[in-house]
Amino acid sequence: MFKGKRALVTGGSRGIGRDIVRKLSKEGADVIVLARDPSNLEKIKTELPNVQTIQADLADWDATRSALSGLDPVDFLVNNAASGGFATVESVSKELLDDLMEVNVKSVVNVTQTLLEGMKSRGKGAAIVNVSSLASQRVFPMIAIYGSTKVAVDFLTNCMAVEFSPYNIRVNAVNPGIVYTEMGKGWDPKAANRLLEMVPEGKWPTSEEVADTVVFLLSDKAVNINGTCLRLDGGLGHAGFSV
Catalytic residues: 146, 150
Q: H helices then E strands: how many in the chain?
A: 8, 7
Q: How would you classify the pairing of strands 6-10 and 229-232? A: unpaired
Whether 179 contacts 160, CB under 8 Å: no
Quickly count: other Cβ atoms within 10 Å of residue 16's Cβ: 29
Task: Tell me the backbone φ, ψ of residue 186, rounded to 5 degrees.
Answer: -75, -10
Quote the Cα angle for 182-185-189, to 5°: 175
Task: Tell me the backbone φ, ψ of residue 140, rounded to 5 degrees.
Answer: -115, 160
Quote the Cα angle for 79-85-88, to 5°: 125
Whether 167 contacts 160, CB under 8 Å: no
Element (H, E) at 156: helix 144-164
Q: How would you classify the pairing of strands 30-35 and 6-10? A: parallel
Task: Give CA–CA dist 138/217, Å, rounded.
Answer: 23
Whether 175 contacts 209, CB under 8 Å: no
Q: Which amino acid is at 147?
A: G
